[in-house]
Structure 1
Amino acid sequence: MTSFLFFRHARRWNLDAQWIHWLTFLWVSVGLWMLTSASCASAYDEFGDSLYYVRRQILWMSVGFCQYCLILGSSMDAILMIGRWGFVLTWVGVCYTLIGGIAINGSSRWVAIGPLLFQPSELVKPFLTLEAASLFSQWHPRSFWWIRVLILILLVIAILVQPNLSTATLCASLLWFMAWMSGRPRFQLLQIAAGGVLVGCLSIFFRSYQRERVLSFWNPWGYSNEEGYQLVQSLLAVGSGGFQGVGWGLSHQKLFYLPIESTDFIFSVVSEESGWIGSILIVILVMTYSWVGASIVMRLRDPRDRLIALGSLFLLLGQSAINIGVCLGLFPTTGLPFPFISYGGNSILSSSFLVALLVRVSRRKVRYVINL
């Protein structure tokens, strides 16, 4: 009943909000269809249930949809308050991973709450967007404003120490981009960017696994049995798809050749099964999303709303572009998921929150209440 009322109210929104709303549901539907094929072999091998990951994804999507409805039915003041408390909790969670987190694949990024695993560095993204938008839209050269900047910088450093270079780079880029778009002094921002590049280079230099990833990116075939194995198998999957693909569910690489095929390299499975036709359609979907999002940003007049929309779009589209680029060998291998397509509850919750923020600010002057 609640869902029916929600969709009925959606027809009253402005056109941009409706476009983002329906494009998101198309994105989610396509992602679930892709995940069903990409994860079936590994799910059956690990759990004896080929739909294990799909069922869990649907569960997290349901939670994300409830979150989406809650945000759209809340005032901006309430959302900002939720964002402030969410930022504090996830900031503490990121710091906790450094002392008591659960290490997976050599990185301590996870916190266990009962049977559930949460990744604070993933969940912090929408809250970081709200915090940065609030800060840069009402900037004053006072000492306590620099304390807030310092807290944001410490968050990025904590994510980097986990170590999680890809997410730390994404969050740092988000802050820099929002500061640039808010009109902060350009020369200072260029200095900060140079410092960030230096920190990234030092991290790669002192961490052997990051250094080997970069080397394998430049010459994956020379490291085909080591750090370059993932990229080589991804390129084989993409190349095997050809123009039309081998057919849905018929990927060969997902049969225990391509690692983490349902998360980081799910686009490679899509390319193999649907070929360049399917891959290009996915890219068109993302580009259409960016075009509608840019239309929303240009229409907004409030500086804070504009920064919220920019930050949300930056994270959703940036992660999508990086994930596609990694699968095609355009970027070094990272652990960034494809929003709404890669398997993972943390990614679903973070992405649905970002979309809700984008839709909410796009219909800022429209009164909206969900009648339960």
Structure 2
Amino acid sequence: MSSPRLREEADVSRSLHGEFDCSAEATCRSQNPVREYPRAGSRRADRRRTPGRLRSGEHSASSPLPSSPSPARLGGNAVDRHRLTAQRRHLRPRPAVLPSRRDGPHDQLLVVGGGPAGVAAATAAARAGFRVVLAERSRHLGGQLALAGRAAAHRELFQRWLAWAQAELLEGAVEVKVNTLITKEDCAAWRRVIVATGARPAGAPLKLPGRLAVLGAWTAIMRPTPLTGSIVILDQDGGWSAMDAAEVLATHGHAVSLLTETSAPGFLLRRSEQGAYLRRLDALAVRILPHTRLIVDGDGRPNVFLRDLVSGRSSPLADHVGAIVVAAGRTSDSRLFLELDSLPGVQRVGDAVEPRCLEDAITEGTRAVRSGHFL
């Protein structure tokens, strides 16, 4: 047996002659060893290919389909086993036919509001077997989507949604009532009510001299023709309402100026949507005034002028301006729900809870019926 000193000298000698690889790559390999598998044809490889055992993914003639291993045999942690169980549950075949119609008084549902959330709730309830009545206070379905569909940016989207909604409501035998205002007394006769009354314009009314007409962006989109003179639009919320109002009014021949206190109007929209809006507004000769604020000075006979927020300079409002359109955003219209809050079986969805996008409103309306609150 050699002494430790002799072994150390031998190791140093072999290292100097290249028998040991002391590079960084060798050090990394030593710290992270690669698992070696048996070569083909070796005894270990042949042992794994015994006739009584099958490889992963193979199946014999006696069992035409491979059986999924149980979560307990897979090993791993509880999260992996839970994920496999959820995948199995998701792949279970679902019934292809609609459930039978329910006839009890507890299986009748009233949906107040014909917007995207209300229609989604009504169609989901009809598929679940409920007898559904959908009441809308206006002359048509769609809510804010129908309003936005008057502009070019949302016209195709609204038409596609309306065709889908009409087909689903007809298939589910949903009774649709338009031009119907639902009150608290009407809801008292129903055991299940979904309130989807949507949203309404936000902001306090702006007080201006008598020669100027002041109206909201939603009103300007619905009735653009009665306005006279050039029009100034205040984009205070950065959403679609100011952009759609400018496009609709410019399409009807009005001279439009779009004011915003930020660098560009529609600052809450996605960049692609904002760019498409600005290109169409530029083609319609809409004047964009960034970093500009409308100032009303005086109580008796107020003066209206525009102030540049960058330079601080102010200029009076032109005499040819005949109307001011204010886009101050939206707030939830929950007045009916607050009156019905004390009644059992009442739930609100969509913008009646809080303003949200179209996808979230449809999802929430569908989930309201599928939850255990109604089924």
- TM-score when normalising by structure 2: 0.23
Looking at secondary structure, tell me which structure has more strand per residue. Answer: 2
Structure ranking higher on relative contact order (CA contacts 8 Å, 6+ apart)? 1
